[in-house]
């Protein structure tokens, strides 16, 4: 990691510590929320790949009177106003598991999931493409009409295919990289708004 990259990462890491957030990832969601008004109060949110919990902390504060559900293969320490499911997005029965908590579905599906990266950009970006496609499958089962999704991916050959896939299901699609995402990382978020239904 270059000196500037390391320094920037440390700044957000320290800020998260001071402000009581569990991860510096929280600033990515906060900055994207400030730009696109993604989270409203009173909605049903599913946060996939939630641990250690920065995004869940932030979304449960904004969505104070709504439903906040978080899911991760790793454990997550308890957060007030967040229901946690310990599970894998690829496991059978995952749709039912998340619908058990919110039978009428979710208004917003977030995914900050990333598999272990190998350093081989095309391999890592292909893996992130398959994760994003799986999250879109989950959306097909649980997202309400006109709902939104925000999914992390790694920029690569398949990014355009992913955007096209999003366009099939969402009326508005944005590719975005928040300022707190390290500039030289391939990380990118895709936001889909106005889900057209199943
Ligand atoms: C970058 S971290 C998420 C950070 C989180 N958004 C925060 O603000 O603290 C990515 C998470 O994805 C989880 N993850 C990876 N593969 C997963 C899978 N197949 N199903 C569920 N969670 C997964 C990891 O365990 C990890 O906690």
pLDDT of res. 7: 66
- The atom number, within ligand 1, closest to the CA of 29 reads 8
Core vs surface per residue 143-176: b (16+ CB within 10 A) or e: bbeebbbbbbbbbbebbeebeebbeebbeebbee
Task: Determine the distance from the C-alpha atom of residue 37 to the mean position of all C-alpha atoms in its chain, rounded to a whole number.
Answer: 15
Q: Which two tokens stand for residue 179?
A: 């300022």
pLDDT score at 75 = 98
Instruction: Identify each DSSP E strand in the chain by its residue range.
Output: 44-48, 67-72, 83-86, 106-111, 143-154, 170-176, 187-195
C-alpha of residue 38 to centroid of ligand 1, in Å: 20
Q: Which residues does the chain have with pLDDT short of 50?
A: none
| pLDDT computed for residue 174 by the predictor | 98
Tokens found for residue 71: 């899911």
Which CATH class, in words, describes the domain spanning 25-195? alpha beta
Q: What is the pLDDT of residue 4?
A: 59
pLDDT of residue 31: 98
Helix (H/G/I), strand (E/B), else coil: 18: helix
Distance 27 CA to ligand 1 centre (A): 16
Is residue 82 within 6 Å of ligand 1 at its C-beta?
A: no
Report, as residue numbers or ranges, the catalytic residues: 152
CA 113 – ligand 1 centroid, Å: 4
Q: Is the CB of 53 inside a 6 Å radius of any atom of ligand 1? A: yes
> Could you tell me the residue ranges of all domains in the chain?
25-195
pTM reported for the whole predicted model: 0.94
Model pLDDT for residues 140-181, shown as the tens digit of each residue: 999 999 999 999 999 999 999 999 999 999 999 999 999 999
């Amino acid at each position: 990691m270059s000196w500037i990259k390391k320094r920037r990462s440390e700044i957000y890491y320290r800020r998260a510590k001071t402000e009581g957030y569990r991860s510096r990832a929280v600033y990515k969601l906060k900055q994207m929320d400030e730009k696109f008004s993604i989270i409203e109060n009173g909605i049903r949110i599913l946060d996939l790949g939630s641990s250690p919990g920065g995004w869940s902390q932030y979304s449960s504060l904004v969505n104070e009177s709504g439903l906040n559900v978080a899911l991760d293969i790793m454990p997550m320490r308890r957060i007030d106003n967040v229901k946690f499911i310990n599970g894998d997005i690829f496991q059978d029965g995952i749709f039912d598991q998340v619908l058990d908590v919110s039978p009428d579905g979710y208004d917003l599906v977030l995914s900050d999931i990333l598999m272990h990266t190998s350093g081989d950009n095309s391999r890592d970006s292909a893996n992130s493409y398959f994760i994003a496609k799986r999250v879109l499958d989950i959306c097909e089962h649980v997202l309400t009409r006109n709902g939104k999704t925000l999914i992390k991916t790694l920029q690569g050959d398949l990014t355009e295919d992913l955007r096209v896939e999003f366009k099939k299901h969402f009326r508005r699609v944005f590719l975005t990289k928040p300022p707190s995402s390290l500039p030289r990382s391939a990380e990118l978020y895709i936001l889909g708004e106005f889900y057209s239904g199943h």
